[in-house]
Amino acid sequence: MKLHGYFRSSASYRVRIALNLKGLSADHLPHHLRKGEQRDPAYLAINPQGLVPTLQDGGGATLTQSLAIIEWLDETHPEPPLLPGDPLQRAKIRAFAQVIACDTHPVQNLKVLARLRELGHGDATVTEWAAWANREGLAACEALITHESGPFCFGVSPTLADLCLVPQLANARRFGVDLAAYPRLLRAEAAAKNLAAFADAAPERQPDAE
Amino acid sequence: MKLHGYFRSSASYRVRIALNLKGLSADHLPHHLRKGEQRDPAYLAINPQGLVPTLQDGGGATLTQSLAIIEWLDETHPEPPLLPGDPLQRAKIRAFAQVIACDTHPVQNLKVLARLRELGHGDATVTEWAAWANREGLAACEALITHESGPFCFGVSPTLADLCLVPQLANARRFGVDLAAYPRLLRAEAAAKNLAAFADAAPERQPDAE
Using an 8 Å CB-CB cutoff, list chain B residues near A143: 48
Using CB atoms, which residue from B90, B107, B140 is nearest to A112? B107
- CATH number for B87-197 (one of 1.10.10.10, 3.90.850.10, 1.20.1050.10, 3.40.50.80): it is 1.20.1050.10
Dist CA A102 CA A64 (whole Å): 15
Q: Which residue on chain A is closest to B57 by alpha carbon?
A: A88
Kindly tell me if the per-residue pLDDT of B140 is higher than 90.
yes
Dist CA B94 CA B154 (whole Å): 11
Q: Which residues touch B120 (CB under 8 Å, ≥6 apart)?
A: none
pLDDT of residue B125: 98
Kindly indicate whether the ipTM for this predicted assembly is greater than 0.90, answering yes or no: yes
If you compute the radius of gyration of chain A from its CA atoms, what whole number of angstroms results?
17
Q: Do B95 and A139 touch (CB under 8 A)?
A: no
Dist CA B169 CA B186 (whole Å): 9
Q: What angle do CA A116, A106, A162 make, to 5 degrees?
A: 140
Q: Any CB–CB contact under 8 A between A102 and chain B?
A: yes
Dist CA B30 CA B43 (whole Å): 11
Q: Any CB–CB contact under 8 A between A45 and chain B?
A: no
Average pLDDT over residues B117-135: 98
Of all residues in chain A, the percent with pLDDT exceeding 70 is 100
Using CB atoms, which residue from B61, B88, B107 is nearest to A88? B61
Q: Any CB–CB contact under 8 A between A186 and chain B?
A: no
pLDDT of residue A127: 98
Total residues belonging to chain B: 210
Residue A56 backbone dihedrals phi, psi, to 5 degrees: -110, 125
Q: DSSP class of residue A201?
A: T
pLDDT of residue B128: 98
Of A132-136, B58-62, B120-124, least confident by mean pLDDT is B58-62
Average pLDDT over residues A130-153: 97
Dist CA A163 CA A161 (whole Å): 5
Residue B209 backbone dihedrals phi, psi, to 5 degrees: -60, 145
Burial class (CB in 10 A: 0-12, 13-18, 19+), B71: buried
Kindly tell me if the per-residue pLDDT of A39 is higher than 90.
no
Taking the domains of chain B in order of start, what are their residue ranges? 2-80, 87-197
Q: Any CB–CB contact under 8 A between A144 and chain B?
A: yes
Kindly tell me if the per-residue pLDDT of A13 is higher than 90.
yes
DSSP string, chain B: -EEEE-TT-HHHHHHHHHHHHHT---EEEE--GGGTGGG-HHHHTT-TT--S-EEE-TTS-EEESHHHHHHHHHHHS-SS-SS-S-HHHHHHHHHHHHHHHTTTGGGGSHHHHHHHHHTT--HHHHHHHHHHHHHHHHHHHHHHHTT---SBTTBSS--HHHHHHHHHHHHHHHTT--GGG-HHHHHHHHHHHTSHHHHTTSGGGSTT--
Q: Which residue on chain A is closest to B99 by alpha carbon?
A: A65
Q: Which residues touch B141 (CB under 8 Å, ≥6 apart)?
A: B96, B99, B100, B165, B182, B185
Residue B46 backbone dihedrals phi, psi, to 5 degrees: -100, -20
pTM above 0.90, yes or no: yes
Q: DSSP class of residue A1?
A: -
pLDDT of residue B77: 98
Q: Work out the minimum CA distance from B132 to partner chain A, whole angstroms.
A: 10
Residues B102/A102, Cβ–Cβ less than 8 Å: yes
Q: Hey, of A74, A98, A109, A129, which one would you mutate to test binding to chain B, going by the most B CBs within 10 A of its CB?
A: A98
Using CB atoms, which residue from A67, A90, A115 is nearest to B98? A67
Average pLDDT over residues B36-52: 91
Beta-sheet pairing, B54-56 with B27-30: unpaired
CATH architecture of the domain with range B2-80: 3-Layer(aba) Sandwich (3.40)
Q: Which residue on chain A is closest to B45 by alpha carbon?
A: A143
Using an 8 Å CB-CB cutoff, list chain A residues near B168: none
For residue A80, whether the previous peptide bond is cis, meaning omega lies within 30 degrees of 0, is yes
